[in-house]
């Protein structure tokens, strides 16, 4: 499942990031790395909003579609 498939309130773990070196580096600088757990705040419409490491951030839907996650429930 990809990040954009999650419903608001769901928690998930980042399993893999599909993309090139620049894309992966951009996510790394935001604290989005494999193994991190986050909570979906807003998933529709527009950008995805998540809470991770005590911070809230927005991610473009195209970027979110390249982040493979495993749902941990709500």
pLDDT, one tens digit per residue, over 15-63 is: 999 989 999 999 999 889 999 999 999 988 889 999 998 999 999 999 9
C-alpha 54/C-alpha 46 separation (Å) is: 22
Give strand pairing partners of 67.
17
Residue 11 tokens, joined: 């928690």
Question: Is it the case that residue 74 has pLDDT exceeding 80?
Answer: no
Domains belonging to the chain, first-starting first, are 3-73 (2.30.30.90)
**In the prediction, which pLDDT does 69 show?**
97
Q: Residues 11, 56: contact at Cβ < 8 Å? A: no
Residue 23 tokens, joined: 């894309």
Residue 74 tokens, joined: 């709500």
**In the prediction, which pLDDT does 39 show?**
96
Q: What is the pTM of this model?
A: 0.89
Give strand pairing partners of 56.
51
């Amino acid at each position: 499942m990809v990040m954009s498939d999650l419903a608001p309130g769901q928690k998930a773990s980042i399993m893999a990031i599909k993309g090139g070196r620049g894309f992966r580096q951009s996510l790394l600088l935001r604290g989005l790395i494999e193994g991190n757990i986050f909570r979906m705040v807003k998933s529709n419409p527009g950008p995805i909003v998540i809470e991770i490491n005590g911070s809230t951030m927005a991610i473009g839907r195209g970027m979110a579609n390249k982040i493979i996650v495993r749902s941990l429930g709500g």
